[in-house]
Amino acid sequence: MDDIALGLERLLAERGVSRRTFLKFSVAMAATLMLPPIVGTKIARALSAAKRIPVIWIEGQDCCGNTESFLRASHPTVSELVLGILSVDYHETIMAAAGTAAESARTATMQAFPNGYIAVVEGAIPLADGGIYCTVGGKAFSSIVKDVCGGALATIAVGSCAFDGGLPRANGGPTGATGVSAVVPSAKVINLPGCPMNVQNLTATIVHYLTFGEFPATDSYGRPLFAYGQLIHDQCERRAHFDAGRYVQEWGDAGHRQGWCLYRMGCKGPETFSNCPTAMFNDATSWPVKAGHGCVGCTMPDFWDQMTPFYGRLAHVPGFPMDVTADQVGLALVTGVAGLTALHAGASYVRHKGEERRTPTPEGGTGGGVVPAAAAGGGTSPASSTDTNGSGSEQAV
Ligand code: SF4
C-alpha cells in the first residue's frame, strides 16, 4: 500500500496517529461493513484521497442524544478524524454562530453545493397544526426538512425519532410527529435508528460512500444491512445461556451476576435487528446486554409502542432461522400472530417444546435456572415455561 495518497494519512500523522493505526481502522471499517479484510486496502486509499463533504445537521423534536454520540466518536480515535473530513457547515448544537448568521450558513451551503451536501436529520418532525410544535428561526421544522433534504445528495436520519417519529410519536403523541421519509418521500434517506444511533454505523455509512461512491444497501426500512441485517439474539454473547435454558430470574440473582440470558427480564433481542453486540458503545467497551440490562428494541419501528413494557418478556420466543431478514419480521409483525406462526412453521430451525424443571440455584436455592437440554433429556426453552413474572404468557414455537 505504498502508493496510498498522503491526504488523510498525512493529516493523521500530524495528529500523532500512525499509519499502522490508520490501516487497522480501515480494516475495522471493512469488518463493520461486513466486507472481507482485503477491502481495508481500498478503504484506506479512498479515505486518503477523499475530499471534504459539506454537511447540514438539523434538529427537530430531539434530545441531542445522537449529537452526543457523534461528538464522542472516539473509538477508534481515527473515527473522529474521518468524520473530520466532513465539513459540518451547520449544526445548531455545536456551531458558534447563532440567529440569522446561523441560518445564513445553512442557506449558503445549500446554494453553493446543490445536490452535493449530506443532510443529517436528528429528531422527529411534527406535522400537526401546520408544524407549529417545532420551529427554527420562525420557520416550521417540517418546511426546513423539505428544503434541506430535498436539495441534498442524500439524507441520513440519525436516531429513532428521525426514523419514524420515535418518542414524540409514541402512544399517539399530539404533535403529529413522524420521520424524514414520511415528510420527504422523494429524498434518498438512509435510516440509522437507535436511541441513540451508534456513531460507528454513521462512520461506516460515510466510509462506504467515500470508498464506493454509493451508500450501503438497505432493507425496506432504509436501514443499512451491514448494521441492521442480523438479529441481536443471534450475535449475543449470552446466547449460549439462552440455548441452555439458563435465565436471569430477578435482578441481582446469581444468574444475573454470572451473565445468564436476560430473556425473562424482558430482553427484546430475539426480535431486534442491530449490530449492537459487535459494534458496541463507549469506545466499543460495552452494550446494554453486556452491562446486564435487556435490549429494549430501540432500532425497530415504533419501538416505544411495540417493545413496551420493556420489562415484560416477549410472548413469543422467536425460533427464527438464522437467515431470517428484518423485512420478514416486519411482515410478521404486521400480520400478527398468524404471520409469526406461519413464519415459524416454514422455518428450517425449529425449537422443540421441552419440559422445564426447576433446579437449585447456584447458591442452593430453588428459584433459579432450567435444566440444560442434555441434562433434562429434552429441549428446554423459555417458550415452554410458565410465566413467573406476570408479564404475559409464553408460547412454544
Ligand atoms: S434473549 Fe437477550 S440476553 Fe438472551 S441471548 Fe437473546 S439477546 Fe441475549
CATH number at residue 294: 4.10.480.10
For residue 370, give the 3-state DSSP assignment: strand
> Do 92 and 238 have their domain in common?
no
For residue 85, give the 3-state DSSP assignment: coil
Residue 117, burial from CB neighbour count under 10 angstroms (0-12, 13-18, 19+)? buried
Higher pLDDT, 315 or 236: 236
Higher pLDDT, 67 or 365: 67
Position 345 in a domain: yes
Q: Whose CA is nearest to atom 6 of ligand 1?
A: 233
Rounded distance from Cα 103 to ligand 1 centre (Å): 46
The tens digit of pLDDT for each residue in 288-310 reads 999 999 999 999 999 999 999 99
Residue for cell digits 410472548? Answer: 315
Q: Which of 230, 242, 256, 275 to mutate to test the pocket of ligand 1 (most atoms within 8 A of CB)?
A: 242
> Do 218 and 259 have their domain in common?
no
**Domain coverage including residue 210:** 7-227
Position 363 in a domain: yes
Rg (CA), the chain: 23
Q: Whose CA is nearest to atom 4 of ligand 1?
A: 261
> Is the preceding omega at residue 277 within 30 degrees of 0, hence cis?
no
Rounded distance from Cα 330 to ligand 1 centre (Å): 19
Higher pLDDT, 17 or 89: 89
Q: Which of 235, 241, 261, 276 to mutate to test the pocket of ligand 1 (most atoms within 8 A of CB)?
A: 261
pLDDT of 328 above 90? no
CATH code of residue 159 = 3.40.50.700
Percent with pLDDT over 70 in the chain: 75
Q: Whose CA is closest to 277, among 334, 230, 311, 320?
A: 230
Q: Which atom of ligand 1 is nearest to the CA of 232?
A: 7
Rounded distance from Cα 230 to ligand 1 centre (Å): 13
Position 332 in a domain: yes
Q: Which atom of ligand 1 is nearest to the CA of 289?
A: 3
> Do 191 and 276 have their domain in common?
no
Residue for cell digits 445564513? Answer: 104
Ligand 1, pocket residues at CB < 6 Å? 232-233, 236, 238-239, 242, 261-263, 267, 269-270, 289, 294-295
Q: What average pLDDT does this structure show over 200-210?
A: 93
Higher pLDDT, 8 or 158: 158
This model's pTM is above 0.95: no
25: Cβ contacts below 8 Å, ≥ 6 apart: 76, 78, 79, 82
Position 264 in a domain: yes
> Do 182 and 151 have their domain in common?
yes
What is the distance between the alpha carbons of residues 301 and 299, in angstroms, rounded to a whole number?
Answer: 7
Percent with pLDDT over 90 in the chain: 61
Q: Which of 230, 231, 237, 238 to mutate to test the pocket of ligand 1 (most atoms within 8 A of CB)?
A: 238
- Last-in-domain residue among 172, 195, 227: 227
For residue 211, give the 3-state DSSP assignment: helix
pLDDT of 286 above 60? yes
For residue 59, give the 3-state DSSP assignment: strand
